[in-house]
Structure 1
Amino acid sequence: MPELRLRVAETTDLTPVVRRLVLRDANGSPLPAYEPGAHIVVTTPAGHRRSYSLVDAGGARPREYVVCVRREAGGRGGSVSMHDDVVAGTDLVVSAPANRFPLEPAPRYLFIAGGVGITPIRAMVRRLRGAGRTGVRLLYLTRSARETPFLEEFDGPEDTVHHSADRGQLDLWPYLAVPDDDVRVYCCGPAALTRTVRTLTAHWRVSRVHLEEFATGHSGMASPFTAVWAPDGRRVDVPAHLSLLAALRRDGVRVESSCEAGVCGTCRLTLLDGEVEHRDSVLTEGERVSSVVACVSRARSPEIVVGPHEDRKPA
């Protein structure tokens, strides 16, 4: 994925833990285009690679990329570095935008955002409403008004902003009980929210429901398999409780990683044989034929053969 070096032009704290960052080219040049739902992968000053949704509506020649970063004190350090090490004037290496959560055409929309999951949803709502579209309904679920980024933007007749600390959990069933082929449902938020929406839309057409979690780790059942490391023929047992990445490292295979949530692509390997259950949000459909993201994806077949990805093979 092509990389850019961009400068942080502005930082704003939207809540006590969510910071808005505006990234621009230092010479003022336009940036690669993107559409709502796109994300960029940012290399933090501490060296982590993290994926952040672009929060504005996008277009052909944007002058800036805007992301929001929630500080996760108990995380693996990426968000902390973005809060503690980044100020206006900091240069960051970022990828060109990619979009695994695209806005598809529909007569009407129901958007469901949980917490900082509002970031890609905001871009979609702004694009649609900016074009004069009606039938764009938003359910925005947060803990409290104090913890709600962009709170002031969503006070229209089709907006429901629900704070669980005041009113408990919002019952989503009344909004999803009756499937409607004229409606597309988009949901972004923590895993608990996306699991709930997936369950409540089981009777909808699959093509009408679009889900994106903060981290793309898979919560379903996992089966053991064998990975053959092609460079030396080493056979690596991958039990149900370990990722392919962890099992390879346990057996002495060095594989670089960063996010370990399937969003940055650092641990991408070449797939030489076997079938894979892809659980990442990095690879395109074409790339999935010959690649696997080792931190989250698993084998469908009893055995797969993998090796270093081309851009990480020794010279």
Structure 2
Amino acid sequence: MRSLRLRVAELTDLAPTVRRFALRDPRGSALPAYEPGAHVVVTTPAGHRRSYSLVDPGGARPSEYVVCVRRDDGGRGGSVSMHDDVAMGTELVVSPPDNRFPLEPAARYLFIAGGIGITPIRAMVRRVRADGRGGARLLYLTRSAEDTPFLREFDGPEDTVHHSADRGRLDLWPHLAVPDDDARVYCCGPAPLLRAVRALTAHWRASRVHLEEFTAGRAGPSAPFTAVWAPDGRRVAVPAHLSLLAALRRDGIPVESSCESGTCGTCRLALLGGEVEHRDSALTGADRLGSLAACVSRARSPEIVVGPNESEGSV
């Protein structure tokens, strides 16, 4: 499906560093369907491509896509461009929604959000509560009330909003100590929170625990290797300290990317030869037999052969 050109119809500051963007079709047409957990890839005015979770529950014919962007002055420029270069009426190129963090059926849910990780979790909580499908408990962990988007939405008896600046870190063990095969745990947030939830749910069935990682690449030893670019046979040396993505770009081979942490799949390439260690969370199952994420994947063999990804529907 082709990318969309959407207009910024609403801009709202939800916190000092978090801005809400409502994106609509300039002609008023309905947008492609999506379900909670989906994200879109937005091309910023400065040319960055960034993945943002959709914060509303979605459905068959949504009238808008809503994303929230936390400004990070120490980042790679995407969030700064969204804050500084986007105004009411700005038109942005946006991918159709993709969903690698789907909301699965369950009798009960425990949602855990850390900081801006509330964005996909909000969509899920609203969908579950609107449908009456089961209990939806929320643990929302932020630094302070001032820094908490959607703070007033989550003040019910099933909601725990915890500010670390006031009370220190929340002890998650009482909420995860007893595994529940009829429940699902969904967590989105920074890496330390994800590591804690993964450790504290080691005694749960793995299929009941769902984590949305902002940074997916697994740390580990990296050896140098050679990548052969199939379209022209060019041989690209990839040293231990450099990603395949960076090495290809260094040698003049353009590869699109977004998160550069193995979560979005934008830099997916076709794997045509050799063995690869997959360090991403974007590719699953059969996809890994013939593809790799250039930003984090490493070669297991001295040489691999790669080329452009021709799969339909990739973003």
TM-score by length of 2: 0.91
Segments of structure 1 that go 5 or more residues without pairing to the other structure are none
Give the equivalent residue in structure 1 for 2:291.
Answer: 291
1:140 touches 1:161 (CA, 8 Å); kept in 2? yes
Pick closer, same or farther for the CA change 1:249–1:91 going to 2, 3 Å. Answer: closer
Amino acid at match of 1:220: A
Pick closer, same or farther for the CA change 1:46–1:249 going to 2, 3 Å. Answer: closer
1:281 Cα shift? 4.9
Pick closer, same or farther for the CA change 1:235–1:150 going to 2, 3 Å. Answer: closer
1:248-281 deviation digits (Å, cap 9, x = unpaired): 445x252334432334544332210234343445
1:157-187 deviation digits (Å, cap 9, x = unpaired): 1110000000000011111122221111110
SS at match of 2:15: coil
1:303 Cα shift? 4.1
Pick closer, same or farther for the CA change 1:190–1:48 going to 2, 3 Å. Answer: same
SS at match of 1:295: coil
Pick closer, same or farther for the CA change 1:203–1:44 going to 2, 3 Å. Answer: same
Distance (whole Å) between structure 2 residues aligned to residue 224 and residue 147 of structure 1: 41
Give the equivalent residue in structure 2 for 1:176.
Answer: 176
SS at match of 1:104: coil
Report 1:17-56 matches (<5 A).
17-56=17-56
Report 1:228-267 matches (<5 A).
228-229=227-228, 230=230, 231-232=232-233, 234=235, 236-239=237-240, 241-249=241-249, 252=251, 254-259=253-258, 260-267=260-267
Distance (whole Å) between structure 1 residues aligned to residue 198 and residue 302 of structure 2: 28
Give the equivalent residue in structure 2 for 1:194.
Answer: 194
Segments of structure 2 that go 5 or more residues without pairing to the other structure are none
SS at match of 2:99: coil
1:7-56 deviation digits (Å, cap 9, x = unpaired): 11000000000000000111111100000000000000100000000000
1:12 touches 1:19 (CA, 8 Å); kept in 2? yes
Amino acid at match of 1:146: E
Distance (whole Å) between structure 2 residues aligned to residue 186 and residue 30 of structure 1: 29
Distance (whole Å) between structure 1 residues aligned to residue 204 and residue 171 of structure 2: 18
1:139 touches 1:162 (CA, 8 Å); kept in 2? yes
Distance (whole Å) between structure 1 residues aligned to residue 202 and residue 302 of structure 2: 29
Give the equivalent residue in structure 1 for 2:206.
Answer: 206
Amino acid at match of 1:226: F
* 1:278 is the counterpart of 2:278: yes
Give the equivalent residue in structure 1 for 2:71.
Answer: 71
1:225 touches 1:301 (CA, 8 Å); kept in 2? no
TM-score by length of 1: 0.91
2:257 touches 2:266 (CA, 8 Å); kept in 1? yes
Give the equivalent residue in structure 2 for 1:227.
Answer: 226
Give the equivalent residue in structure 1 for 2:144.
Answer: 144
Give the equivalent residue in structure 2 for 1:62.
Answer: 62
1:33 touches 1:61 (CA, 8 Å); kept in 2? yes
Give the equivalent residue in structure 1 for 2:132.
Answer: 132
Q: How many residues align?
A: 308
Deviates more, 1:218-227 or 1:31-40: 218-227
